[in-house]
Structure 1
Amino acid sequence: MALLLPALAAAAPLQVQVSDAQGRPLPGAVVFLQSPEAAAAAKPLSGAEIAQQGKQFLPQVSVVTVGTAVAFPNRDTVRHHVYSFSPTKRFEIKLYIGTPVAPVVFDQPGVAVLGCNIHDTMAAWVLVLDTPWYGQTDAQGRVLLDKPPAGSYRLRAWHPALPVGEAASDQALALPASGARADIRLDKARP
């Protein structure tokens, strides 16, 4: 009797360089691959948190997958009132110190902009993705996605310096088993 196993596609590394309108490297950009297979492979993360410390959100940009529950611990000695009015996730955690009992579940893809009703200078972004294949660019604007299988994808990139509501860049990508390099230019990212 033969045992049939599904063929496993080999990981195809993808190196991506992201730059701004002037061609300068863009650190902190989130690069991700989307496809029906990517959506099926995405699983919620565990242990995600966005802290408030020094009257700022840490990290300022968070990337989570759909279904991830995010804790919002307040490590300051002052109260915060965390909220998002973004269509991706609307929520409000009214004045509190410590850690709220229930984390916030981010259940649909998109960008959620966070703020504090008490401290107007506090802002953060949560990019909610339906793919396990993503990463953030380093100081040279580079990122290596080393786990996706070869296949057809939408290669996308987002940065908090894009205008509010601006969609992530989007281009077709046929990723061969040998891997590939790609360049992305985010012309609308403000310095």
Structure 2
Amino acid sequence: MLPVLLLLWGFAAQATELQVLVRFNGMPVTDAVVSLHSPAAAAAVKPGTAVIDQRNTQFTPRISVITTGTRVLFPNSDNVRHQVYSFSPAKRFELPLYSGRAAPPVTFDTPGIVVLGCNIHDWMLAYVVVVDSPYYAITSADGQVRLSAPAGTYTLRVWHPDIRDNQPVERKITLAGAAADATVDLDLAPQKAPVAPADDKLRALQEKFRRLKEQH
């Protein structure tokens, strides 16, 4: 009986390579978040620490994927102040106006999509995808990711900032030890992102006006 149990345990623990191609209208999609979910995957999650910087009045990176319980630092590498906030149900918070690295870390403890903004610079926009799984990746320019997870049945989830109705695509997938592949077609509605002022002097002037407004 023991050898059989060990054999079954070894099969369940065997890592399976899964390659996923994400497309829209037959073309590869970059910056799509791909993840695998199951009760066992949720139990394997370990919180970590991540950094989302602010450079040239933009969030860097624009899209982050983190596990539940992860603390995120928001350093400000600009020479102007920022006020980071989110009204998303998965994480509502606001960091007071600051510069440098003085802002306290924010813990993201609920799975979901968190949209970040800056109260001072309207064009700043970023996304934090909080997942209850250690198996995730973001597609590159070729629209592909490669995940490695133990054999088992999962929910394959794919999300993109432009996905219609902000609802990820989900499907059941079973990994059985041998390498596997999947193709996911998304329905995207590309949105026009807010554009930052092109001139640095204009940015500085805008910041000065905002500061004067705050003082009155």
With structure 2 as the length reference, what TM-score do the two structures score?
0.82
1:50-69 alignment runs, 5 A limit:
50-69=52-71
Matched, 1:79 2:78: no
Distance in 2, Cα, partners of 1:89 & 1:127: 11
Question: What is the CA–CA distance in structure 1 between the aligned matches of 2:169 and 2:48, rounded to whole Å?
Answer: 24
CA contact (8 A) 2:52 2:61 kept: yes
Q: Which residue of 2 aligns with 1:186?
A: 186
- Greater relative contact order (CA < 8 Å, ≥ 6 in sequence): 1
Alignment of 1:112-123 (within 5 A): 112-123=114-125
Aligned partner of 2:31: which letter?
Answer: G
Structure 1 residues 13 and 189: CA distance shift in structure 2, 3 A: farther
- 1:134 maps to amino acid: Y
Equivalent residues, number: 186
2:141 is paired with a residue of what secondary structure? coil
**1:29 counterpart residue number:** 32
**Aligned partner of 2:15: which letter?**
A
Q: Do the aligned residues in 2 keep the contact of 1:159 with 1:189 (CA within 8 Å)?
A: no
Structure 1: gaps spanning 5 or more residues: none
**What RMSD, in angstroms, separates the aligned Cα atoms of the two structures?**
1.8
- Aligned-partner SS, 2:56: coil
Q: Which amino acid aligns with 1:98?
A: G
Give the superposition deviation at 1:138.
1.2
Structure with higher helix content: 2
Asked if residue 14 in structure 1 is aligned to residue 18 in structure 2, the reply is yes
Could you list the per-position Cα deviations for residues 145-167 of structure 1 after superposition, in whole angstroms to 9, with x for gaps in the alignment? 02x0010000010111224x522
CA distance in structure 2 between the partners assigned to 1:99 and 1:159 by the alignment = 29
Q: Which runs of 4+ in 1 moved over 2 A?
A: 4-8, 188-191
What runs of 5+ residues in structure 2 fail to find an aligned partner?
192-216
Deviation string, structure 1 residues 89-140 (Cα, Å, up to 9, x no partner)? 0000011001134200000000000000000000000000000000111111
**Of residues 45, 48, 58 in structure 1, which corresponds to 2:48?**
45
> Retained in 2: the 8 A contact 1:57–1:122?
yes
Give the C-alpha shift of residue 189 in structure 1: 4.6
Q: Supply the AA of the counterpart residue of 2:115.
A: V
Give me the whole-angstrom Cα distance separating, in 1, the residues matched to 2:154 and 2:102: 38
Q: What is the aligned partner in structure 2 of residue 160 from structure 1?
A: 161
Amino acid in the other structure paired with 2:126: A
**Native 8 Å contact 2:32 2:158 kept in 1:** yes
Indicate the larger mover: 52-61 or 6-15: 6-15
Deviations 1:22-62 (A, max 9, x none): 1100011110000000000011123x110111000000001
Contact 1:162 1:188 survives alignment (8 Å): yes
- 2:203 maps to what in 1? none
**Matching residue's letter, 1:38:** A
